[in-house]
Structure 1
Amino acid sequence: MSSPTIYLSTPSSSLFQFPPSKEPTVLPPPQAGSTLSAPPFSISSSLFVDALDPKVPITIACTYAVTVALLNYYNRTAGNKPWAISKTRGFFWFVVAHNIFLAVYSAWTFVGMFNALRESFVSWSGPAGLAGTVDSLCKIHGARGLGNAVAYDGAQSRWVAHSPSTIFLADGGVPDPTDMGRLWNEGLAFYGWFFYLSKFYEVLDTAIILAKGKRSSTLQTYHHAGAMMCMWAGIRYMSPPIWMFVFVNSAIHALMYTYYTLTAFAVPVPNALKRSLTTMQIIQFLVGASYATIHSFVSYTIPVQVPYLKGAVSAAASTATTTAAAIATATATSIPELIMKYLFRAAGGEGVAENVNGAQAPEMIEQINSARPEAISYRTEYQSVPCIDTNGQTFAIWLNVFYLTPLTFLFVRFFVKSYLRRTAKKASHSKAPAEKAATDAVKGLGREMNGGKMNGNNKANGNGKANGKH
């Protein structure tokens, strides 16, 4: 194999686990000023991690759903009368400020994610081809470039650099927060975390509807509660496709809350705009769910530097190393360990070979290099890697897919009821008066004609009587 390739594959059964493993721990974004692409301000690492505790979204989502059900009941029993507060001037300005804030915040998030994508997205026209593009979207940790990612190995419970000779882990064995060129450090961790928190604030949309004496629909309640859980899962487990929901949804929200602001001031907005916003949301759900799903079935190959013994040691060593490289490429896991075992066996160190483990392999290679730099060299081999590495990432993907499926149905039903049926009714109502007017016109014409005949007859009869009298 002389170039990277992409292919469809069946995901490992180990990636499907509920509840998902708590490993790895979510990584906070870079601190402000640490790199040129660092976020505009820092987030406390403890606050970042604590906010992603599963009890936070579960508690808030359940409380929200129960509260909405109770207030829906209250409004129904009260005759759906607006609350007194909704008639105040302060409430009006609160609604305006709420919509303006969310419009500006959403636009800020969209711009931030656009810049993150610009810095991390690798074009398929580059030297790595389409594999480079797939790699830039599948692997969100590490440095830019095909094969320079850092992924979490669940079997070994540790982070692994695909290119250990050039990409180094930070203290604690985690991806270095100063590595740039991948989505997480370029902005997804920062903007995605705030976008997750914004889902809690957006429940004020429902509070405004209820204060006006209206009922919060099933669509409204399900949408808000589900969004909290899905955004939590995507950010907590650092699932690659979550960037699309942050990026696209923030763009749609910027337009949507701008529209709400205009309607609050009674600015006439074409109904076609509202229909377009709903259509955009439906398309977003369909494309987003499809995009997330495909991640579980994509694999590709990356170039890795494989160590091997030079001919100075022995021809058998070279043969053993070639075999080790082939096995390593086939297994795609524990590559340094297998290679080191064959290296030591080829050199006559059978006992040492049996004590080799994956964690020690890089250090052992370094020791051999230090003692006999002429003994080890490197060559490029292609290793197969899956797009998704952990069961947590898989859990986040399928939670979003299962959430978006009924949500799309509810939005389509809303679209049909709100636009298609209303349009048909309006057309029917506008047609009825026209038909009625035409019928009345025909009847009027008939009366006019009959009236003319009757008048003519009456005149004739009158003249006859008059003549007879004379």
Structure 2
Amino acid sequence: MSSATVQFSLPDSSIFQFPPSNEPETLPPPIPGSTLSAPPFSISASVYNGALDARVPITIACVYAATVTALNAYNRKYGNKPWKISKTKSFFWFVVAHNVFLAVYSGWTFVGMLRALQKSVSNPMGPAGLPGTVDSLCKVHGISGLGNAVAYNGTASQWVSESPSVLLSSAGTPDPTDLGRLWNEGLAFYGWFFYLSKFYEVLDTAIIIAKGKRSSTLQTYHHAGAMMCMWSGIRYMSPPIWMFVFVNSGIHALMYTYYTLTAFSVPIPQSLKRSLTTMQIIQFLVGASYAALHSFVSYTIPVQVPDLTASAQYTASAAVSSVAAVASSAGFGELVKKFLFRAAGEGLAENVNGGHSIGQGAKGSSGAIQYRTEYQTVQCIDTSGQTFAIWFNVFYLTPLTALFVRFFVKSYLRRTQKGAKGHTTKHGAAEKAGKDALKGMEREIYMNGNTNGHANGKANGHANGKANGHTNGKANGKH
């Protein structure tokens, strides 16, 4: 018998489509109390899908970009002077509350997604091996177990289950009470709120502008792009979106905790900020690579298919037995039995029980339809929407990653040239170049961060210094 395998292959061209198909509709999370993994409170299906209407993120992103452009021009016109409100106590406490809220919310999301992953991702050392792990990450609907997923067939425009034991709901969709896959275990719930949080995070930019600073083009692009990327991942239920929800929420929990402490002038080693920046950059690189990989992965799953030969033999056997019984009762005896069994074929019992393993019949163990196990190759990604979400995220992250590479290359070449004069080793030059690259990345992402905030604090007074130390570094590298 064959066994499940994982391989790399070129994706089907049919899933590369723009604009992507609107099918299927996004499935809301389970109703509270329906399963052990159900969310703590319900979200109306109309509200859930209404927020995922494409017009919502597009409109907000456009308004955000236009507003930032106008306010940048205003600050430039008036010499980048801090607004009066930024020097008030109420503004300071607003900034603190904003930071605390995002730190707690991000931690809550991280813990929720961690639990979902623990329940959903199959151990590669388990019975299903690596194919089981790949299947648990590629297919987010259905129940746990290799071959037990429910996937959307774009050609037939319907949800399909390859396992007779996994049934669809009366509406023809994955059952909301199914457990063991990422969507119902938490991604549908935590991912949706994480998508909404990208709209709230634009307050980071508002705080910076209120301090008289200007939002860079990169930062504006970053916030607007994060809205669209999270929308596409959740709207089309794209498998790799879990990584951005999980990893980014963990980094944000650390970042906003850091900013909260900074607002109160708590001394924090510079190396910590450097570590957070490094984590964010690694997230860009690993996240984009991981997402792109999904388009090129396929694997085999065990599929229960009707065994027509066994079913026919089963039917013939049942008919023979029935007729033989009638014949015997009618007095034809052994002569008629021999004739009937000869007509059905010799070795009937051996043929029915031989070959591939026979699964449960459509009508149970006594039903007429018998099943055998075959191995079928499936793609990791099923729909054009999932593909669109993957590559939208990849293209969004590319400029951010390229920025780091540019800083690194420039710094490395500069350090190498200086090293030739000052006898600095290449190893030392590369190390210094890496630090310079991180500093440059921080300047672009964090917008005149913590150090400048403390400097401004000395000029404006201790109370305002607390706010400056917090707020001037608020252009976080979102997503």
Alignment CA distance shift 1:312-1:306 (3 Å)? closer
Any idea what the Cα deviations from partners look like across 1:314-355, whole Å, max 9, x if unmatched? 69x9xxxxxxxxxxxxxxxxxxxxxxxxxxxxxxxxxxxxxx
Please, what TM-score do these two structures have when normalized by structure 2? 0.75
- Any idea what the Cα deviations from partners look like across 1:408-451, whole Å, max 9, x if unmatched? 23356678799528989xxxxxxxxxxxxxxxxxxxxxxxxxxx
* Alignment match of 1:420 (pick from 425, 436, 444): 436
Unaligned runs of 5+ in 2: 317-360, 412-432, 441-479
Counterpart among 393, 396, 413 of residue 403 in structure 1? 396
Equivalent AA in structure 2 for residue 94 of structure 1 = F
Aligned residues between the structures: 373
**Any idea what the Cα deviations from partners look like across 1:353-404, whole Å, max 9, x if unmatched?**
xxxxxxxxxxxx95xx59x956431111101110000000000000000000
Corresponding position of 1:384: 377
Tell me which amino acid in the other structure corresponds to 2:15: L
How far does the alpha carbon of each residue in 1:165-214 deviate from its partner, in whole angstroms, 9 at most, with x for none? 10000121000000000000000000000000000000000000000000
Aligned-residue RMSD, C-alpha? 2.3
AA aligned opposite 1:169: L
State the alpha-carbon separation in 2 of the partners of residues 208 and 85 from structure 1.
10
Q: Which amino acid aligns with 1:51?
A: A
Aligned to 1:251: 250
Residue 25 of structure 1: aligned partner: 25
Separation (CA, whole Å) in 2 of partners of 1:411 and 1:312 = 63
Q: Distance in 2 between matches of 1:422 and 1:227?
A: 21
Classify the secondary structure of the residue corresponding to 2:247. Answer: helix
Q: Partners of 1:88 and 1:376 in 2: how far apart? A: 77
CA 1:142–1:220 in 2, change beyond 3 Å: closer, same or farther?
Answer: same
The amino acid across from 2:236 in the alignment is: Y
Alignment-derived partner of residue 265 in structure 1: 264
Shift of 1:2: 1.9
Name the residue aligned to 2:182: 183
Partner SS state of residue 68, structure 1:
helix
Do 1:83 and 1:212's aligned partners in 2 also have CA atoms closer than 8 Å?
yes
TM-score, normalising length from structure 1? 0.76
For 2:396, what is the secondary structure of its paired residue? helix
Aligned twin of 1:72: 72
Q: Structure 2: which amino acid aligns with 1:268?
A: P
4+ aligned runs moved over 3 Å, structure 1: 310-315, 372-375, 410-419, 421-424
Q: Secondary structure at the match of 1:381?
A: strand
The 5 Å alignment of 1:85-96 reads 85-96=85-96
Is residue 2:9 matched to residue 1:13? no
2:370 match: secondary structure: strand
SS at match of 1:180: coil
Unaligned runs of 5+ in 1: 318-364, 425-470
Determine helix, strand or coil for the equivalent of 1:240: coil
Name the counterpart of 2:281.
Answer: 282
1:41 offset after TM fit, Å? 1.1
Pair 1:411–1:210, CA change in 2 (3 A) = farther
Residue 220 (structure 1) shift = 1.4
Residue 145 of structure 2 corresponds to 145
Q: Which whole-Å CA distance do the structure 1 matches of 2:369 and 2:391 have between them?
A: 44
Match for 2:138: what amino acid? C
Bigger CA radius of gyration: 1
Structure 2 distance, partners of 1:228, 1:108, is 20
Aligned partners of 2:241, 2:439: CA distance in 1, in Å? 36
Partner residue, 1:435: none
CA distances 1:85-128 after superposition (whole Å, capped 9, x unpaired): 00000000000000000000000000000000000010011111
What is the aligned partner in structure 1 of residue 339 from structure 2?
A: none
Partner of 1:47: 47
Q: Is the counterpart of residue 101 in structure 1 residue 89 in structure 2? A: no
Aligned CA distance change for structure 1 residues 79 and 374 (closer, same or farther; 3 Å): closer
Q: Which moved more, 1:20-29 or 1:264-273?
A: 264-273
- CA shift for structure 1 position 309: 2.7
Matches of 2:205 and 2:397, distance apart in 1: 20
SS of structure 1 residue aligned to 2:25: coil
Counterpart of 1:123, as a letter, is: N
Letter in 2 for 1:187: G
Q: 1:143 to 1:400 in 2, by over 3 A?
A: same
Give the match for residue 242 of structure 1. 241
Q: Secondary structure at the match of 1:385?
A: strand
Deviation at 1:162, TM superposition (A): 1.5
* Identical residues among aligned pairs (%): 74
Distance 2:144 2:367 in 1: 31
Contact 2:238 2:389 in 1 (8 A): yes
Cα 1:284–1:82 shift into 2, 3 Å: same
Partner of 2:67, secondary structure, is helix
In structure 1, give the amino acid aligned to 2:298.
S
User: Contact conserved, 1:310 with 1:376, CA < 8 A, in 2?
Assistant: no
Instruction: Tell me how far apart the structure 1 counterparts of residues 259 and 95 of structure 2 sit (CA, whole Å).
Output: 9
**Contact 2:75–2:212 (CA under 8 A) maintained in structure 1:** yes
Cα distance change of structure 1 residues 401 and 423 upon mapping to structure 2, 3 Å threshold:
closer
The one-letter code sitting in structure 2 at the alignment partner of 1:194 is F
Distance in 2 (CA, whole Å) between partners of 1:264 and 1:74 is 26
* 1:113-146 per-position Cα deviation (integer Å, ceiling 9, x unaligned): 0000000010011111100000000000000000
